[in-house]
Amino acid sequence: MMVRFPSTTAATLVLAGVLALSGCSILPGGSDSGGSGAAGHTLKSTDWVAAASSKVSAGGTLRLAADAIPSNFNPQQTDGSMSQASTILAPTTGSAIRVTSDGGWRVDRDYATSVKVTSKSPLTISVHLNKRAVWQNGAHITSKDMVAFWRAQNGSNADYKVSSTAGYEDISTVKTEGTYAYSVIFKKTSGEWPLYVYPRLPAEVSSDPKAFNSAFRKKAIPSNGPFNVSSIDAKTGTVTETPNPGWWGAAPRLTKIVWRIATPDVQAKAFAANELDAVAVQPGTYQTVKGHGSLQAASGLEWTQLTLNEARGPLKDVNVRRAVAHAIDRTQIADQAAGEVGVKGTTLGSFVYVPGQRGYHDSSSSIAYDLKESARLLGKAGYAKNAHGLMVRKGKTLTLTMPVPADTPTNSERAVAVKNDLRKIGIVVNFRTVPADSFFNSYVISLNFDIVTFTWRGSAFPVAATEPLFFPVDSGQNFTGLRDDGLDPAWDKANAAVNDGKRHALVQAIDSRLLKEAPIVPIAVTPITVAVRNGVLNYGASQFEQSDWTRVGFTPKKK
């Protein structure tokens, strides 16, 4: 797999701006707005106010916000992937695959009449396009677009600065079967094939590396959705979208969408002043937006965790790692973080799936909070408490070094909670406050730590993206030092499972194996919390479900 660093597929590595890795994303502090409901309880996957299109007022401007103008409005290009381009362009883009509220998928018939598995050996996906679907210039979306897009994305031409070749490099060919039909034939079976079977760009862009890389620094990629980007004003920090006159589906209810660029604190103040209709809520902005609309909370994708470096020191012993896992009061940490945005927290029991997602199973009983078990395991590892209550072996106190990025309050709060929990069983944690801009490169990636905490991000198709966190040991995202060659066939089987039930069972087995090794202690998921102006319909907090932008709008005013 060719991965550019920084780069992204399912997610983004964020630190003092946006950097990215392929696969899951990692955030140093995380937007630790909490978990997803009380322990054993899950928030809704979608929490917006839903209404039929006929119940949505015709007209109106929806005012939204983003943190920065993208340096490239092509989300497939490296610079574009490291921005909010996909978020801003969501009303202008569509695909044959629409993700459902539980992380599954269905065919979006605005773009394809059918998407089917026609062979499992080799895995072959037959796609029949909607003949009415067109790009912004009126050109029909055809099989040639898919062929060109695959060639641009598969790594065969290094001139394309793609964020990642993942998935596309596993396709052996795209066979055209007429103007509006094609088959995608995989040389490596993947249960996450729905990500890779529809073109996101027209052939005229995908066939030209220069256009792919540089043509969209100041303008948006061609629309194939219900809205077009009508203007981008970098000076005022405004992106305006209006209905696409060539759109073939149901007419959108809104007459305009305006994205305003501002920092999160300014966004919150603008929402409170009735200048925005929805903003993401963070611990530092909750009090500002509270009471000025409705707070929507959906089960999240980001998950906090504690990584244990088993390549050095005391943590080479699995008994010490398991003792650390049992000593972490994950429920308390989850509730403390979630309370900052007004919701209750929950712990996480899987490395691959999150609560609310199809296939999620809580396998974390093997690391349940249990100080007695923690002490027993430390005794098994040869440690005993001294007169000061510290764990000592051969005269040496059990001490772990933990780098903490400066100016990241949520990370610091979580680190303090971990330190206090481990002190209860006699383990000393020494903090090392480090510059935020060198936290990952100088400490996490170089394995210059004993324990460390940050936030990963999951996705609707998480198996292939999660594997590099644990295998192989030299993966660019494996910060655990874990060497377990037995994981290789386990991941291969899970990635290759086309049947959902079989894949979920294989993932559960991987989770159980990893939790016994304890290279990472999963702590909590972060709910997606959004402050939404009263009267906004079909838009807001959602874990997986994508807004149908033809139905987004406002409650009709009473006459």
Distance CA 52, CA 521 (A): 43
Question: Interior CA angle at 473 toward 468 and 478, to 5°?
Answer: 45
* pLDDT for res 20: 25
Domain hosting 201: range is 74-80+104-216
Does the pLDDT value for residue 16 go beyond 60? no
Q: What is the pLDDT of residue 486?
A: 86
Which own/partner contact pairs does 165-173 have at CB distance under 8 Å and 24+ positions apart?
A: 165/1, 165/2, 165/3, 166/1, 166/3, 166/9, 166/22, 166/23, 166/464, 166/465, 167/9, 167/192, 167/193, 167/195, 167/196, 167/464, 168/196, 169/1, 169/2, 170/196, 171/196, 172/122
Is residue 315 over pLDDT 60? yes
Q: What is the dihedral of CA 474, 479, 481, 485, to 10 degrees?
A: -50
Indicate the range of 48-57, 158-167, 268-277, 539-548 predicted with least confidence: 158-167
**pLDDT at site 28:** 56
Give 501 or 475, the one with higher predicted confidence.
501
Provide the CATH number for the domain around residue 199.
3.90.76.10
Tell me the residue length of the chain. Answer: 559
Reported as a single tens digit per residue, the pLDDT across 437-492 is 889 989 998 999 999 999 998 888 899 889 989 998 888 889 999 888 888 899 99
Percent over 70 (pLDDT), the chain: 92
Do 511 and 463 fall into the same domain? yes
**Tell me, what amino acid is at 220?**
A
403 and 439 inside one domain: yes
pLDDT over 70 (residue 303): yes
Residue 159 lies inside a defined structural domain of this protein: yes
Does residue 399 lie in a domain region?
yes
- Identify the band that residue 411 occupies on the pLDDT scale cut at 50, 70 and 90: very high
> What pLDDT does residue 42 have?
66
CA dist., res. 482 & res. 513, Å (int): 12
Residue 559 is predicted with a pLDDT of 67
Identify the three-state secondary structure at position 19. coil
The pTM assigned to this predicted structure is: 0.83
Percent of the chain surpassing pLDDT 90: 76
Q: Determine, yes or no, domain membership for 482.
A: yes
Q: How far apart (Å, rounded) are the C-alpha atoms in residues 535 and 109?
A: 29
Average pLDDT across the chain, whole number? 90
Indicate whether 270 and 416 sit together in one domain: no
273 & 143 share domain: no
Whether residues 393 and 319 share a domain: the answer is yes
How far apart, in whole angstroms, are the C-alpha atoms of residue 19 and residue 5?
8
Q: Over range 99-120, report the average pLDDT.
A: 94
In a domain, 52, yes or no: no
Q: How many domains does the chain have?
A: 3
